[in-house]
């Protein structure tokens, strides 16, 4: 790969475990567990977020045992190191790995074993999950310094009985013990999610937030509170939340002083490395070296700390 971004030290804050398996591992485990993996098992441009989320049903089937959780976590750390990622955070929803009888703590510990101190771990609930689950993640993290944060992933649906506000208690518990807080917010949806995530859930980072510029209130809040946006432009294009990369707001955000940074979301499903994502963003209209440097600085500054 002749991509000069590989030479530059980078931080990756937003990478999902179950979307970032090595290609060879994905197919090897597919064979082992008799799960059919389509030949070109990647996101394609402008699919919907709902369709993108279905891909995870398949990868999750491969990650229901301790050894696979440990192996894949270790491989993600190795791959990141090769890409010159000197600060890595991996996220996943432990409750999605209980199909073969593991307990949540065993799932978390298997991943921490694979990470072996090379990355911070973020535990994700999904929109609509019982808030008790998020609280249990905060509890689990108390005795596991390798867990650096919590997150809400997926997206809201009218069938869900819990709303973003309902996770306030769990996020307040996280704040109280110094655990990092991020939320997948406004991924092509109403910018009010940004306001709720920051004001009610004490989020200091937001995943995606692609509609930030649609609300002056949200924009002012994000700038004044120096909230970091974990931006994943290729994923945003594939999930259909921006219609083209040229229209992605990351350049404008950086110009306005928003603390945005560049991330992959899912290296396998999006078929992208962080250096490739940097290259893509560097070619966007109006992007400058200065703004690229800013985004690198933003990512390192927003790293969740080991406690
Ligand atoms: Zn994500």
Residue 187 Cα distances to 120, 155, 199, 230, 287, angstroms: 23, 8, 18, 11, 22
The Cα 30–Cα 102 span in angstroms is 20
Packing angle of the helix pair 23-32, 66-82 (nearest 10 deg): 170
Residue 176, pLDDT score: 98
Higher-pLDDT residue of 225 and 53 is: 225
Distance from the alpha carbon of residue 104 to the mean position of ligand 1, in angstroms: 21
DSSP string, 176-193: HTT-EEEEEE-SSS-THH
- Judged against a pLDDT cut of 90, whether residue 218 lies above it is answered with yes
- Judged against a pLDDT cut of 70, whether residue 1 lies above it is answered with no
Q: What are the residues whose beta carbons fall under 8 Å from the beta carbon of 259, sequence distance 6 or more?
A: 222, 226, 227, 228, 229, 298, 301, 302
Residue 52, pLDDT score: 87
Look at the domain 9-301 and name its fold: TIM Barrel (3.20.20)
Phi, psi (rounded to 5 degrees) for 87: -135, 120
Distance from the alpha carbon of residue 153 to the mean position of ligand 1, in angstroms: 6
The Cα 198–Cα 221 span in angstroms is 8
List the structure tokens of 260.
């945005």
- Judged against a pLDDT cut of 90, whether residue 51 lies above it is answered with no
Distance from the alpha carbon of residue 217 to the mean position of ligand 1, in angstroms: 24
Residue 49, pLDDT score: 85
Catalytic positions, please? 187
- Judged against a pLDDT cut of 80, whether residue 24 lies above it is answered with yes
Neighbouring residues of the ion ligand 1, judged by CB less than 5 Å:
207, 265
pTM here is 0.97
Q: What is the pLDDT of residues 171-205, one digit of tens each?
A: 999 999 999 999 999 999 999 999 999 999 999 99
Distance from the alpha carbon of residue 184 to the mean position of ligand 1, in angstroms: 7
Distance from the alpha carbon of residue 15 to the mean position of ligand 1, in angstroms: 7
The Cα 123–Cα 8 span in angstroms is 28
Q: What are the residues whose beta carbons fall under 8 Å from the beta carbon of 54, sequence distance 6 or more?
A: none
Q: What is the pLDDT of residues 81-136, one digit of tens each?
A: 999 999 999 999 999 999 999 999 999 999 999 999 999 999 999 999 999 999 99
Q: What is the pLDDT of residues 260-299, one digit of tens each?
A: 999 999 999 999 999 999 999 999 999 999 999 999 999 9
Q: Mean pLDDT across the stretch 10-20?
A: 98
């Amino acid at each position: 790969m002749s991509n000069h971004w590989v030479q530059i030290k980078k931080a990756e804050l937003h990478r999902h475990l179950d979307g970032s398996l090595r290609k060879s591992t994905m197919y090897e485990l597919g064979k082992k567990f008799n799960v059919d993996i389509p030949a070109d098992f990647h996101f394609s441009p402008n699919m919907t977020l709902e369709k993108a989320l279905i891909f995870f049903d398949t990868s999750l089937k491969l990650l229901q045992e301790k050894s696979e959780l440990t192996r894949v976590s270790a491989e993600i750390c190795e791959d990141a190191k090769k890409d010159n990622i000197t600060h890595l955070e991996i996220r996943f929803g432990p409750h999605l790995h209980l199909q073969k009888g593991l307990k949540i703590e065993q799932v978390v510990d298997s991943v921490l074993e694979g990470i072996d101190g090379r990355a911070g771990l973020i535990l994700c609930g999904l929109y609509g999950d019982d808030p008790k689950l998020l609280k249990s993640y905060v509890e689990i993290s108390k005795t596991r310094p390798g867990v650096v944060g919590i997150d809400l992933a997926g997206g809201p649906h009218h069938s869900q009985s819990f709303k973003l506000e309902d996770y306030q208690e769990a996020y307040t518990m996280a704040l109280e013990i110094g655990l990092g807080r991020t939320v997948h917010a406004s991924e092509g949806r109403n910018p009010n999610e940004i306001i709720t995530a920051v004001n009610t859930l004490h989020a200091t980072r937001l995943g995606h937030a692609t509609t930030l510029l649609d609300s002056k209130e949200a924009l002012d809040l994000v700038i004044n509170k120096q909230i970091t946006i974990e931006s994943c432009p290729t994923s945003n294009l594939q999930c259909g939340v921006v219609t083209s990369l040229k229209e992605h707001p990351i350049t404008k955000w950086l110009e306005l002083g928003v603390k945005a940074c560049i991330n992959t979301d899912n290296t396998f499903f999006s078929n992208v490395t962080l250096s490739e994502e940097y290259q893509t963003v560097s070619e966007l209209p109006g992007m400058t070296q200065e703004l690229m440097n800013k985004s690198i600085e933003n990512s390192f500054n927003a790293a969740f700390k080991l406690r």
